[in-house]
Amino acid sequence: MINPEVVDLSRLQFASVALYHFIFVPLTLGLAWILVIMEAAYVMSGKEIYKDMTRFWGKLYGINFALGVTTGLTMEFQFGTNWAYYSHYVGDIFGAPLAIEGLLAFFLESTMIGLFFFGWNRLSKRGHLTVTTLMALGANLSAILILIANGWMQNPVGSEFNPITMRMELTDFAALVFNPVAQTKFVHTVAAGYVTASVFVLGISAWHIMKGQHIEFARRSFRIAAAFGLAGALSVIVLGDASGYTVSENQKSKLAAIEAEWETEPAPASFNLIASINEEEQKNNWDIHIPYVLGLIVTRSTTETIPGIKDIRARNHVRIESGIKAVLALDALRKNPNDEALKAEFKAHLPDMGYGLLVKKYSEDLSLATPAMIDQATMDSVPKIAPLFWSFRIMVFLAFAMLALFILSFWYSVNGTFMKKKWLLKWALWFIPAPWIAAQSGWIVAEYGRQPWTVFGMLPTHLSTSALTAASLWGSLAGFLAFYTFLLVVEMYLMFKYARMGPAALHTNKA
């Protein structure tokens, strides 16, 4: 029988490691391109200050990259240690982009980062700029390959279930790569990284300006970050809208949960700005909504409805009953593989088989599933509403606040008065944590919103774990949290130390 504690601890452990890892990823993605911009300015203008800017921000990039690699490697191994059945079930598909990421993108980035630090006096200006550009491309290529794998978990395309091997098998690699969910997740995620790096550079530069030190260095860094950040913030919001559209196409339960939409409204649906959510009674005690906004943004039409949670659960109830028939037919077919009637029965209900597996949380033998078990599985088929509802709103609020910060920073940079705006400089400094909070909230929406699935609509989370004990998971979870917290403290110490030093950290005796 499935041990709920093992499932919950496995989820908690992987979520903890992933969220720690994603502290480092966004800054790497964005700061790499800021380095390219700064070094390109050095190559084109010949001004040494741009070289010093590239080297200084590159030092912070290197610290962040090292910690990101350390936390990321653990996640690869966790698929085998904590999610053995998942790895067996989807290895043919999930493993392909991850293998390419390790062999191509990671080695490209790792090689180029070595040349970036040790090649300043060994390579020509253009040669070193090429290295920096390839380093940035490697980081972003790594992101797209990982998000292709993750996108397949959200929208499993280009594959089919093999009843003989009992595994998912890849049938169309192009469909896997060009999965619309993966593509929108990639552009949205990397744009969020660009915003993160821009706020980081903007805030540290503002601090130096307020301290009256390294003014020319900070002034130029601030301007570059303001322009790059404005483009990134606009991209995040526009591409976030595109990501919402793909969710409405492929994960209607996630969308309904994000919006706390219990009933199917007439088109176009309203957007709940805030709400008091009552999950027990499946309603909002009160809400403040904006008419038509959700329907227009998500469906791009005035006539298409967005199903509410109650309707989604009713549809899932039907799919669960159909899926039980698929599972029972598959079990019988494995004992009698030549029975044509069983083959026809299995094929007819195969699209719903994953929903039938939801009941295995309550009964190993689905022939003994009771109506109460099916009802409980139906309730489980939509994730908890409150975590998604509020995580999404935190993310959106911070995104628009950062957009406002970049608009004002860019405007005052253009007219040359930003250094006189103390309120703007303080805003930039104190807003440094904002993109990380937004990014973590976004991942909660993306990953928690997929529940109760590891592979949406196909493989439930409770069937994906390894045969572990709760005690071993508690021990490893404590170890991971202690070690990763130590790494985070090291990261913060080094970042604070060198950020305060500014270009003096380069020991060039020029700052």
Which range among 246-255, 260-269, 415-424 has the greatest average pLDDT?
415-424
- CA–CA separation, 109 and 137 (whole Å): 8
State mean pLDDT over 51-59: 91
pLDDT band, residue 43 (cuts 50/70/90): very high
User: Tell me: the pLDDT tens digits for 371-401?
Assistant: 999 999 999 999 999 999 999 999 999 999 9
What mean pLDDT comes out for the span 122-136?
Answer: 91
Distances in whole angstroms, Cα of residue 233 to Cα of each of 57, 204, 219, 396: 21, 18, 21, 11
The residue that leads in pLDDT, 242 or 475, is 475
Q: Of all residues in the chain, what percent carry a pLDDT higher than 70? A: 96
pLDDT higher than 70, residue 242: no
Residue 275: is its pLDDT beyond 60? yes
Q: Which segment of 32-41, 53-62, 243-252 scores lowest on mean pLDDT?
A: 243-252
Q: Are strands 283-290 and 159-162 parallel, antiparallel or unpaired?
A: unpaired
User: Cα(first)–Cα(last) distance of the chain, in Å?
Assistant: 66
Residue 499: burial class (beta carbons within 10 Å; 0-12, 13-18, 19+): buried
pLDDT of residue 511: 45
Please state the φ and ψ torsions of residue 289, each to the nearest 5 degrees.
-125, 160
DSSP state of 263: S
pTM: 0.90
Residues in the chain: 511
Among candidates 187, 196, 119, 185, which has minimal Cα distance to 152? 185
User: Taking all residues of the chain, what is their mean pLDDT, rounded to a whole number?
Assistant: 87
Which structure tokens are listed for 154? Answer: 């959200």
Return the pLDDT at 241.
65
Q: What pLDDT digit, counting tens, does each position of 441-484 carry?
A: 998 988 898 899 999 989 999 998 888 888 888 998 898 889 88
pLDDT tens-digit readout, 64-79:
888 888 777 777 778 8
Whether pLDDT at 222 is above 80: yes
Q: What is the pLDDT of residues 304-314, one digit of tens each?
A: 788 889 999 99
155 residue type, one letter: N
Predicted pLDDT of residue 470: 87
In tens, the pLDDT along 296-306 reads: 777 777 777 88
Distance of alpha carbon 456 from alpha carbon 358, whole angstroms: 12
Query: Can you list the pairs that 136-140 forms with residues at least 24 positions away whose Cβ atoms lie under 8 Å?
Result: 136/32, 136/33, 136/35, 136/36, 137/108, 138/105, 138/106, 138/108, 138/109, 138/110, 138/112, 139/28, 139/29, 139/32, 139/105, 139/109, 140/29, 140/32, 140/190
Say whether pLDDT at 510 is over 60: no
Residue 300 φ/ψ region, left for φ over 0, alpha for ψ in the -120 to 50 degree band, beta for the rest: left
Residue 412: is its pLDDT beyond 70? yes
The Cα 472–Cα 483 span in angstroms is 16
Q: What is the pLDDT of residue 247?
A: 66
Whether residue 202 contacts residue 181, with contact meaning beta carbons closer than 8 Å, is answered with no
Render pLDDT for 363-377 as a digit per residue (tens, 0 to 9): 988 889 899 999 999
Mean pLDDT of 77-92: 84
What pLDDT does residue 505 have?
63
Q: What is the mean pLDDT of residues 145-174?
A: 88
* Residue 3 backbone phi and psi in degrees, to 5: -95, 105
Rounded Cα distance, 271 and 319, in Å: 28
Dihedral sign of CA atoms 504, 508, 509, 510 in order:
negative
